[in-house]
């Protein structure tokens, strides 16, 4: 069974440019999370989806970040415009329909803003 797929793995952009990250969940996993991880820190939740509904986006900086999960499968996280402080690893994670809470992470997208 394929795991969580993310792309791109690496992205280098100049500040003020836009960037987008894509995530394809494990088949059948209805809950999808976007996390941000800075070096030496644990992942920080940006947004959680249940199917296509964003049920927790309280930590998403909505002035520059946006996310969508059309049809409740793939998801895209966008930053526009990017700032130097956005340099981090953006992790997508999914969980199954059960209530275990276990998260399965993709390989992450490492963003460098110059």
Partner 1 sequence: QKEVEQNSGPLSVPEGAIASLNCTYSDRGSQSFFWYRQYSGKSPELIMSIYSNGDKEDGRFTAQLNKASQYVSLLIRDSQPSDSATYLCAPRNGGFKTIFGAGTRLFVKA
Binding region for partner 1 (CB under 8 A): 31, 33, 35, 40-45, 48, 56, 91, 100-108
Least distance from partner 1 to the Cβ atom of residue 27, Å: 18
User: How many other β-carbons are positioned within 10 Å of the β-carbon of residue 65?
Assistant: 19
Residue closer to partner 1 by CB (options 27, 41) is 41
Q: From start to end of the chain, where are the E strands?
A: 5-7, 10-13, 19-24, 31-37, 44-50, 53-56, 65-68, 75-79, 88-95, 104-105, 109-113
Smaller CB separation from partner 1, 74 or 107: 107
Closest to partner 1 by CB, 48 vs 69, is 48
Query: Minimal distance in Å, beta carbon 95 to partner 1?
Result: 9
> If we measure between CA atoms, which residue out of 36, 70, 65 comes closest to residue 53?
70
């Amino acid at each position: 069974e394929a795991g969580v797929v993310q792309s791109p793995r690496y992205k280098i952009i100049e500040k003020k440019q836009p960037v987008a990250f894509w995530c394809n969940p494990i088949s059948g996993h209805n809950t999808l999370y976007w996390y941000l991880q800075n070096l030496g820190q644990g992942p920080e939740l940006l947004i959680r989806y249940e199917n296509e509904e964003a049920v927790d986006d309280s930590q998403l900086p909505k002035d520059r970040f946006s996310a969508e999960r059309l049809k409740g499968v793939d998801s895209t996280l966008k930053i526009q415009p990017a700032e130097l402080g956005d340099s981090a690893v953006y992790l997508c994670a999914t969980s199954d329909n059960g209530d275990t809470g276990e998260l399965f992470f993709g390989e992450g997208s490492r963003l460098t803003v110059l």
